[in-house]
Structure 1
Amino acid sequence: MSVATAVGAVLAHASAPLGAVAGIASAHGTSVSAGGTASLDGTAVTTETAFDLASVTKVAATTTMILRLVAEGVLALDDTVARLLPSTSCAPQTTVRDLLQHRAGLWEWQPLYLFDAAASSTIDELPLRYPPGRERHYSDLGFMLLGRIISQVAGTSLGAAFETLVAEPLGLARTSFEPVAAPVASSALGDDAERRMVQTGEPYPVLAPRRDFPWRDHEILGVADDGNCAHAFGGVAGHAGLFSTAGELLELGSALARPQEHPELWSVEAVTEFFRDGPDQGQALGWRSELARVDGRPERMLWHPGFTGCALGVLPGIGASVVLLSNRLFAAEPVTTDVLWRAALPEILGPQGPDEGTRTP
């Protein structure tokens, strides 16, 4: 088993993406492999190709920035949203912790670019969908609010905060919001998925007053696929919009998996708090959690998928991080990122995975 066979398993899937990159980093070294094509013109994917991470942004950028601000003592997990952002519709008792755990009662999603008001104002004016603090309801809007909180506390734009708090300290030169330098993979052909959500009201009812919009119908390359990020937030948001390569995501994941090696960024205690499940099993702070099998042994994994076909996992028990990058939306009948992740993971975490060294196609 290896990262090369993981890529092969993804590209051999009945609903294969155009291309994929898989990798693992541990105390034994780093192994990365790539295959397939990055775009419709047949450009090959390499280990240096950047991908649109979509919702992996929630953990790689937003949650990690919150972690740094908490570690620095300038933000607390139990600070109320009302104190930080007084204009929102969040309940008075709702905290930063609640937003990270998706327990604020907010709508999962709305096409903010179809409302007449600015995106931030629209979020603030939307009524809550669920009773706050009672149960988990995964919410893009909650992470949009977290992005605003980061900007407020850091005193700068969200993109600049990411550079200062995460990218520069870890030496991540190709992990950023737009603009994205080549080589970069295409993420989708137009806004088809989001247009369908608006037209059908599935999986969420749409509250926007209109349905007409100049939808993109071209190959999306180097800009955010997510409609709210692209059309309402200029490519930089707390829920989506980050681009990265496999190697740099593994670098970030490894810094979280082995926090004792980065005391200048965060403490072991702070990372442990973020990785601990809250009231809902399988939901830590920002991260999802589950057991993965490493050489047949169960290990706790913190992870998160992205709509475009990307996923990042952290295994603190063995100090390892794993990644899958793909452009799944180009498949004739795309399967979810979760399906591709579970096809790749047993290969990535197999007996030879951490020991192979770096592979280049």
Structure 2
Amino acid sequence: MTTRAELLPGTVRALDHRLARGQAEGRAPSMAAGLVRDGVLVWSGGRGSVDGAPPTADTQYRIGSITKTFVAVLVLRLRDEGLVDLAAPLETYLPGTVAGDRTVRQLLSHTAGLASETPSPWWERTAGELRPELADVLGPTPLAHPPGLRFHYSNPGFALLGALVAAVRGRPWGEVLAAEVLAPLGMSRTTLMPAAPHALGWAVHPWADVLLPEPTPDTHLMAPAGQLWSTVEDLTRFAVLLLDGDDRVLSADSVAQMREPLAPPADDGSGYGMGLQLRDAGRPLVGHGGSMPGFLAGLDCAAADGLGVVVFANATSGPAVGSIAADLLGIVADAEPRPPRTWSPLPEVDLDLLALTGPWYWGAAPFAVMLRADRHLELVRLGTRGRESRFRPEAVGTWTGLDDYYAGERLRVVRGPDATVSHLDLGSFVLTRQPYGSPDVIPGGVDPAGWGGSAG
């Protein structure tokens, strides 16, 4: 984590006030929250009581379905090692389930069509011994929809992914998580079962200020769907991973792939990537919510602002954790906007790449090519029409698009017989130095009469 100045006193007061209001309005026995900016925990707060005192950044809460994001990180690690193909059916790695024809990517994005829950009894409040086998987790009719057609949130789907991790690694998924994610990130207070100091889970009566304790069983095979306990200090470390990547755990490129929407958007515009929820709360947010009996949790990141936030409550219902998280991010982003990156010249320049910069034309539409750091190129629109993108260098003379329409598409420098640059080929689109220049390379040719002054 890097060093960054503390928040302004007024910002801290606003954060403290929003957390206090959330705890009071939500009637939560306790709430804890924390916020990271550019990799540093710059604020944390606690309201209510745990063991007779306000919770701290070291107080454990159950984080529910945020556990799924950890499982997704483990699966992406296997993909990056070449051990798992996301397009492959589950049967390839975990034989013998009725969901074997669903792909790993579909399971990660809740598009596999699996049922939302296990058969009765409700898995979140009952011991995992009631479901000793994956067949017990899935039940006799787990296939609710055809695969790949719609988003349908599935807790058993992530139980299968946890079992996949265990099968490929040859040891329990929790051990894999501890060794490959928690230890490198210094998350020593994130565990499968609670470790003191931790909050107790409560249900708050809807019409009276009284409490009922909630059970917190070990859900065993269903644990990858929502078992983990964590702290503000630990989970904000995980937020930094989701913002910036960490080569000890998962690269920035792979984290960015997790954030890509794979499921059709819901009516409210929210979407889902691979183990990550995507929503717009005045700014694009990526993260995950969590709920288990007695607990609510939220993890959200605003990548453009370099901010991540976590919010915990030990109540089954009541506190609007997602709204509180978004408000906390907004307070900092609006009061202390992230300054632009300091501009500095490139440390060295490739003259061949420099020669590619400047105006280019797709037909008559003007664009410009910009040279960026690490031999990256950027195509920017100069008129009112056109698609823009950044491009990552590949083999000599080729780049791969990183954004929007051109994501994954190839940009290629085409040279003539004399080795000079003839044009740029972008997924079959031809860009020339003059509007409809180089008639011999323009698809369909160019009228030999050339440009004229009258359309009549």
1:24 corresponding residue in structure 2: 35
1:313 equivalent to 2:300? Answer yes
Q: Is there any run of 5+ residues in structure 2 with no aligned partner, and where?
A: 1-10, 206-210, 266-270, 340-456
Q: Which has the higher contact order (CA 8 A, sep 6+)?
A: 1
Q: Distance in 2 between matches of 1:279 and 1:304?
A: 15
Q: Which has the higher strand share?
A: 2
Q: Which of 47, 69, 79 matches 2:88?
A: 79
1:109 equivalent to 2:117? Answer yes
Q: Distance in 2 between matches of 1:339 and 1:280?
A: 23
- Where do 1:15-164 residues align within 5 Å? 15-27=26-38, 29-39=40-50, 42-59=52-69, 61-90=70-99, 92=101, 94-110=102-118, 111=122, 118-127=132-141, 128-164=143-179
- Equivalent residue pairs, number: 308
1:213 corresponding residue in structure 2: none
Q: Structure 1 304/157 Cα, relative in aligned 2: closer, same or farther at 3 Å?
A: same
SS where residue 74 of structure 1 aligns? coil
SS where residue 304 of structure 2 aligns? coil
**2:55 partner amino acid:** V
1:302 equivalent to 2:286? Answer yes
Q: Structure 1 102/241 Cα, relative in aligned 2: closer, same or farther at 3 Å?
A: same
2:20 corresponding residue in structure 1: 8
How far is 1:34 from its partner?
2.3
Instruction: Answer whether contact 2:199 2:314 (CA < 8 A) is retained.
Output: yes
Q: Which of 225, 243, 246 matches 1:257?
A: 243
Q: Distance in 1 between matches of 2:45 and 2:137?
A: 39
Q: Structure 1 166/231 Cα, relative in aligned 2: closer, same or farther at 3 Å?
A: closer
Q: Structure 1 338/267 Cα, relative in aligned 2: closer, same or farther at 3 Å?
A: closer
Instruction: Answer whether contact 1:31 1:353 (CA < 8 A) is retained.
Output: no
Instruction: Answer whether contact 1:38 1:327 (CA < 8 A) is retained.
Output: no
How far is 1:9 from its partner?
2.6
TM-score, normalising length: structure 2: 0.61
Moved over 4 A (4+): 112-117, 342-345, 352-355
- 1:126-182 Cα offsets, whole Å, 9 max, x none, are 32122222101111111111111111112111210110111111111101211x321
Q: Distance in 2 between matches of 1:352 and 1:22?
A: 19
Q: Which of 318, 335, 351 matches 1:351?
A: 335
**1:291 partner amino acid:** D
1:244 corresponding residue in structure 2: 230
Q: Is there any run of 5+ residues in structure 1 with no aligned partner, and where?
A: 193-216, 356-361
How far is 1:232 from its partner?
4.2
TM-score, normalising length: structure 1: 0.76
Instruction: Answer whether contact 2:111 2:263 (CA < 8 A) is retained.
Output: no
**1:44 partner amino acid:** P
Q: Which has the higher helix share?
A: 1
Q: Distance in 2 between matches of 1:46 and 1:130?
A: 43
- Where do 1:206-355 residues align within 5 Å? 219-220=213-214, 225=216, 230=217, 232-233=219-220, 237-259=223-245, 262-281=246-265, 282-293=271-282, 298=283, 300-307=284-291, 308-329=295-316, 334-335=318-319, 337-342=321-326, 344-347=328-331, 349-352=333-336
Q: Distance in 2 between matches of 1:84 and 1:147?
A: 12
Larger Rg: 2
Q: Distance in 2 between matches of 1:29 and 1:253?
A: 10
SS where residue 33 of structure 2 aligns? strand
1:188 corresponding residue in structure 2: 202
State the percentage of identical aligned residues.
24
Instruction: Answer whether contact 1:24 1:353 (CA < 8 A) is retained.
Output: no
Aligned-residue Cα RMSD (Å) equals 3.0
How far is 1:104 from its partner?
1.1
1:358 corresponding residue in structure 2: none
